A and B are shown apart, each in its own frame.
Chain A
Amino acid sequence: MAQPPAKMYEEIEHTADWALRVRGADLPALFSNAALGMMELAGVRMGNGSGQERTIELQAIDKETLLVDWLHELLVALELEQIAFRDIELEIAGGTRLAGTVQAVPLASMEKPIKAVTFNELEIIELSQGLEATIVFDV
């Protein structure tokens, strides 16, 4: 019997805030999984509808800053526009430039909002089977 696919993100212990360990075969997969994990942590429920395609382009000084910026884009969209993202398609060049498309879907509800994505001990590390990062969110 085939093993179910391993979950690419998991909440880990943190006394005051939320911490998420994320994995991905490469940077686009890691970033995409981080976004899905963050929405799950916040208890995001998406509304019905096909969504609207949105283009995202970001540039940062290094891959960790790019990851923080990417997740922050999503947080701000959740708060200001009441939308969530799905069908995330990203390309990342040189670890510092992100370009991609997402489907922006109306937010049905959110259990608990996240205040900020932090740099606390943030490092994207290479494992034998891809990449891993632990992200701490201020809540």
Chain B
Amino acid sequence: MAEKLRKQDFTRLAPTLWEIPTSYQAGMRVPVRLFADERLLEAALGDKSLQQAINASTLPGLVSHVTVMPDVHQGYGFPIGGVAATRLPSGVISPGAIGYDINCGVRLLSSRVSFEEAQLHIPDLASALYRNSPSGVGVKGSVPLSAKELDRVCREGSQWALKNGFAREDDIVRTEESGRISGADPSTLSPRAKKRGRPQLGTLGAGNHFVEVDVVEQVFSNEAADAMGLSVGHLAVQIHCGSRGFGHQVCTDYVKEFQPAVQRYKIQLPDRELVCAPLDSPEGKRYLGAMACAANYAFANRQIMAHHARRSFEEALAGRVADWDLRQVYDIAHNMGKIEEHLVAGERLEVCVHRKGATRAFGPGYEGLPEEYRPLGQPVLVPGSMGTASWVLLGTEGSMEQSFGSTCHGAGRTMSRKKAKKTVRGDKLIDELEKRGISIRAGSLPGLAEEAPQAYKDVDAVVEVVARAGIAKKVARLRPVAVIKG
């Protein structure tokens, strides 16, 4: 058992960058680098998250350091807030380093509705969003799929939603990879994954998933905010969800399939949840095909949730405000494995970037960005904890150089769910938030208590770190006025 990690085990490389060298523990193939200030470093030392990053540094084929974001917290094998890049073709892919909720991510929609004109109608809006956003696991989705249609969703992602009247052209252009990851292969899916996927498209899910109405409170870059359609005092909507039971089953299937595979490929790991297989192995290729199916399902899912949000705005605000339309700002994953090219020690390499609780943050000039964002960088969406601020950022050249084009994804938990349930009562939390002018609609009171703001780190401090470190740039800060939880 490794000794407990201490602050003195780190080398400080820069004011907000700390390194654990490979000499710290036998088996580490690369160093671990953490973006944090002193306070967030102390918070990260409070659980097993950094030990999990050290464990991740033993994965075969890593091309450089394992990156850890300031919102890091303990996960189940690989830390939430971790980034690891493995070399193609023989480096590994690890399903657990991507997560059960494949392509869990965030979508942001902007509006021309001013908070002033909508203020009296926010409770109606919250109720409409709650009514129109099916939530818990296992609930019938608004778009039940036949087996053939599920295969199409797997291959086409958001573009399936466009063909079926749930999207606009602009939504697709303003989605990572245009809402469709290549390489999706439905033949790699188990019958059980398909069975779980068919009834759940167009549903929010439980846990930390939400739909939130925000007000744009502060803008830090007028040029970027204008391009995104964000202006101070106007409403915006965030949607946070993923691939539902479908993605969970894909990950479960492959974590199981990879258990004997690690023995076959003679891979030694400190935690069985990190199981992996070479990217060019039959198992690795099959997982990539299945992961892409789940990723595309998640893009389509958030697209349908956006369709529900537009319908809800119309139901609650039509005739009450001048323009109730919602326009897509961007949609981005924070649990994904992506094949990308990165410059590593002066060499351009094709790598598989595992991001688990970390957001891709490509800098200016990336060709995959829509024209209006290309000179600025890729939009990054960072939801805060319930009742606190959220941020819109941009990817930078610094993120390309330091973190495989990645940055933070949220506030990051600091209190256990057990403790949160003991110290917070869901009904009291609703009262407190309502007093602060935030309308709450939630399916489960204990579930709500676990997501209380005090269970999370300060998202402003997290964003301050990534901005100071140069791995993202601030665009706007959002303040919540309505939260809908599963």
Task: Identify the A interface with B (CB < 8 A).
Answer: 11-18, 43, 61, 64-65, 68-69, 72, 76, 78-80, 82, 110-113, 115-122, 136, 138-139
Contacts and interface: CB of A to CB of B under 8 A. Distances in A.
Nearest to A68: B256
B207 A119 contact: no
A115 B76 contact: no
Contact of A113 (B73, B80, B138): B138
Contacts of B77: 118-120
B74 A115 contact: no
Contact of A17 (B196, B255, B256, B417): B417
Contacts, number: 110
The size class of the interface chain B forms with chain A is: 35 or more
B75 A17 contact: yes
Contacts of A18: 417-418
A139 B207 contact: yes
B216 interface: no
Contact of A119 (B74, B195, B273): B273
A65 B413 contact: no
Contacts of A122: 272-273
Given A13-B419, A112-B447, A121 B74 contact: no
Contacts of A118: 76-77, 96, 100, 255, 273
Contacts of B75: 16-17, 120
A15 B450 CA distance: 10
B251 interface: yes
B454 to A, nearest CB: 13
A80 B76 contact: no
27 contacts: A11-B418, A13-B416, A16-B413, A17-B417, A18-B417, A61-B260, A69-B256, A76-B192, A79-B138, A110-B136, A111-B446, A111-B447, A112-B207, A112-B446, A112-B447, A116-B100, A116-B248, A118-B255, A119-B96, A119-B255, A119-B273, A120-B271, A121-B273, A138-B99, A138-B248, A139-B207, A139-B417
A61 B100 contact: no
Given A15-B49, A16-B73, A116-B251, A80 B418 contact: no
Nearest to B77: A120
B256 to A, nearest CB: 7
A112 B451 CA distance: 12
A116 B76 CA distance: 10
B308 to A, nearest CB: 20
Contacts of B251: 116
Closest 6 CB pairs of A and B: A113-B137, A120-B76, A119-B272, A118-B76, A79-B138, A116-B100
A114 B364 CA distance: 39
Interface in B22-80: 47, 49, 73-77, 80
Most A CB within 10 A of own CB, among B101, B256, B417? B417
A119 B76 CA distance: 8
B47 to A, nearest CB: 5
B405 interface: no
Contacts of A112: 206-207, 444, 446-447, 450
Interface in B231-249: 245, 248-249
Most B CB within 10 A of own CB, among A15, A69, A120, A136? A15
B415 interface: yes
A110 B136 CA distance: 9
Given A65-B259, A82-B138, A120-B273, A15 B74 contact: yes
Interface in B266-280: 271-273, 275
Interface string B405-440: 000000001111111000000000000000000000
B76 A17 contact: yes
A117 B100 CA distance: 10
B252 interface: yes
A16 B195 CA distance: 28
Contacts of B49: 15
Nearest to A62: B259
A18 to B, nearest CB: 6
Contact of B196 (A13, A76, A120, A136): A76
